[in-house]
Amino acid sequence: MSSEIKELDARKCELIGGGGGVFDVVVDGRLIFSKHQTGRFPEPGEIAGLVDN
């Protein structure tokens, strides 16, 4: 997953890990995916799709 995020260098992407299973992805200061909110990890390619939107 982190390698997929690193490939998205066109924008400032940040993977925020934390205790208790937190997995958030922030792009340009905007939360685009939260495992806490969705209750699941993103599918392969899902983060790239969200960044493109």
What integer pLDDT is reported at residue 28 of this predicted model?
A: 80
What integer pLDDT is reported at residue 38 of this predicted model?
A: 94
Tokens of 37: 């909110």
Domain count, the chain: 1
CATH number at residue 19: 3.40.30.10
First to last CA, the chain: 18
Contacts of residue 21, defined as CB under 8 A and 6 or more positions apart, other chains included, come to 35, 36
Query: How does pLDDT run across 3-19, given as a tens digit for each residue?
Result: 666 666 555 666 666 77
> Containing domain of residue 46, as a range?
2-52
**Which among 37, 13, 10, 12 is positioned nearest to 23, based on CA atoms?**
37
